[in-house]
Amino acid sequence: MKRITTLLCTIVLAASSAHAAIPAPEGARVAVAYTTPGSQRIEGVHTDAFMIPASTQKVLTATAASLFLGLDWQFKTRMLASNGALASAKSNGGTLPGNLVLEFNGAPDLTRQALVNLLSYLKQQGISRIEGDILLDVSHYAGYDRGNGWSWNDLPVCFTAPASAVVIDRNCVFAQLKADQVGQIAQPVIQSGQPITISSEAQVVTLNDYYSGCELEVNLDSGNNYHLTGCIPSQPGKPWPLSFAVQDPTVWGVNLTGWAAKRAGLTWSGKVYSVRKSPDNLVELAHVPSAPLGKLMDRMLKRSDNLIADSIARALGYEYFKRPASYASGADAIREILRTKAGIDLGSALLADGSGLSAHNLIKASQMLQVLDFIARNDEQLQLIEKLPVAGMSGTLGSRGSVQMPPLVKNVTAKTGTLQNVSNLAGFMKTASGQRKAFVVMVNGLTFAPKIRQALKARRIASPHYKFERAVLEQIYREQPVQISD
């Protein structure tokens, strides 16, 4: 009898261990929120703790933009001149009197070739000369071109390219470093026509030295000048690729507008420069539309495109408040649109930008879940779920280690959120019973031992925290209560 009792106890303990608490990554803060199918009650762990959302914040930006602007809305880069100038030019040998104005409003997909095409409209009208200046109107935007709380040492990198009034070629420029022989100074190579300068003191080192802590660093000078120090690994016959975020987008715009005007076959008597107030009595000659908002948001969500997210957020600030847009007004517009059109009050949550790049952003997992539930109820109008990455299939979930195996692969549709020491997921999955469930998993304060960080930098291993993330997601999939041990 005693043996039978012991055996029964062993079976009970084994059954309960299947639902044992999942150990959180060492020292990390974790928040998990979800709803049980058929219930509106929010379940989870630390659901009301404020967490850094990182790029899951783009879910809020996309929802507000869909509600207020609509999926067909477009940015417009306009070319303007004084009323009657075009007719006067046609009767005056092809010389446009007065200034030509280009009105920039933050279109994130404007290219230099599109700018050439816009200016070529004048040639098509028989105009080849401007008797005046070419002005860049940047008055739609105000304040800083980067958000409060962006990491200063990320600023030279293209994923933090400024969402300014002037965006041309994504405000990102490419170059190379020759890295042939260990011990040499790497030499920069800049493609012709790129209005930047690069100087280098960066040394060429072995691959082992590079992954042991000697990194390439970029020091920023005034204008679009970059000075390189630190190290790059030796790559004989294979240049080291560089990509830099434009530091002064207005100077960048002035230089590329002059270049584009020449490519369009135009000459002008004055200068090219930026203004914050255009002359009065202007009429539109032509404009370049951006891709529709729906298409922009597809890239924004699948690829976690920060430039598009912050451009849309600032556009919301301009359109909602009818005043020059800042990051703050964009964040305020998102908050107000969610409150008035979705009934979601973010309360004490802090929004500093539209992309999630800022470490100042703070939101509860329960609040993010409210937004996801609203999307699920209204997706026929919003059309956002189809734009999210799919595990093992697309976007930033295409190769994420936590969701590459059944039952999660192809079954998790979610926005990732990654910053230094932050790794989040917010989205949807179809549970074991076949019902779609919204979920939020946030991990802040995530860090690893130096050797693991080096291996992660070299991409030799997947992030160790993926084991935790997968365990949580599988519990949600099985519709079992999530328990986490700190």
Catalytic residue IDs: 55, 58, 304
Within 125-266, residue ranges assigned H as helices are 207-211, 249-263
DSSP character at residue 454? H
CB 427 within 8 A of CB 438: yes
3-state DSSP assignment of residue 224 = coil
With both helix axes pointing from N to C terminus, report the angle between 58-68 and 293-302 in degrees, rounded to the nearest 10.
170
What is the distance between the alpha carbons of residues 261 and 99, in angstroms, rounded to a whole number?
13
- Of 415, 290, 315, residue with least CA distance to 65: 315
What are the φ/ψ torsions at residue 270 (nearest 5 degrees)? -100, -140
Q: Which helix (H) or strand (E) holds 367?
A: helix 365-377
Query: Is there a cis peptide before residue 407, judged by omega within 30 degrees of 0?
Result: yes
Residue with tokens 């019973």: 433
User: Positive or negative CA dihedral for 455, 460, 463, 464?
Assistant: negative
Residue type, 172: C
What is the distance between the alpha carbons of residues 224 and 253, in angstroms, rounded to a whole number?
11
CB 118 within 8 A of CB 151: no
Question: According to the 3-state scheme, what is the secondary structure of 308-362?
Answer: HHHHHHHHHHHHHHCCCECHHHHHHHHHHHHHHHHCCCCCCCECCCCCCCCCCCE
Tokens standing for 308? 């598009």
CB 143 within 8 A of CB 279: no
CB 163 within 8 A of CB 106: yes
Tokens standing for 485? 């041990």
Query: How many other C-beta atoms can be found within 10 angstroms of the C-beta atom of residue 283?
Result: 12
